[in-house]
Amino acid sequence: MSNLKGGCLCGAIRYSLGSSPTELRACHCRDCQKASGGHGAVVTIVPRDKVTLEKGTPRIFKGKAASGRTLSRYFCGECGSPLWSHRENTPEILALRAGTLDDTDHMKITAHIWTKSARPWSYIDPKATQHAGQPEGPPVPTK
Ligand SMILES: [Zn+2]
Ligand SMILES: [Zn+2]
């Protein structure tokens, strides 16, 4: 399997992904809206050891999430692109921003979370799983 590649807008951060996830999760919490400047975050859940930094060092912003947990958000210090995040107590599981991947044609949003704070102009696929808030349990990598 060839590694997927990704990176930030300016190219200061590049990484490779040693797995091939197919499922994406859209988060509509206010924090993800602020952090993205858009409708929220679209992520894929991957084990940290599958993500290899090829170039650069991301900066980290730690904030209290709507769930009450502390979330570490990684981003490029040069261009500000969000890259991935993890919960304080599960640093081995990353929520990787799907839009930073170079190729995601084989991926699909299968779940929407925090739909209760979704903006009225956000599209939520009625066929996808929906959670009003945070789903129970830790995030699980899809592959
Ligand atoms: Zn950058
Ligand atoms: Zn969120």
Q: How far is the CA of 65 from the centre of ligand 2 (A)?
A: 8
> Which chain residues have CB less than 5 Å from ligand 1, an ion?
8, 10, 12, 76, 78-79
Q: How far is the CA of 74 from the centre of ligand 1 (A)?
A: 11
Given a contact cutoff of 8 angstroms between Cβ atoms, the answer to whether 55 and 12 are in contact is yes
DSSP single-letter state for residue 106: T
> What's the pLDDT at 2?
57
Distances (CA, A) of 39 to 2, 29, 143: 31, 9, 26
Q: What is the pLDDT along the chain (143 residues), one digit of tens a residue?
A: 457 999 999 999 999 999 989 999 999 999 999 999 999 999 999 999 999 999 999 999 999 987 788 999 999 999 999 999 999 999 999 999 999 999 999 999 999 999 999 999 999 999 999 999 998 877 777 65
Q: How far is the CA of 58 from the centre of ligand 2 (A)?
A: 19
Domain 4-130: state its class. Answer: mainly beta
Q: Which ligand is nearest to the CA of 57?
A: 1
Question: Rounded CA gap, 52 and 110, in Å?
Answer: 25
The residues that bridge with 60 in the sheet, in sequence order, are 74
**pTM for the structure as a whole:** 0.92
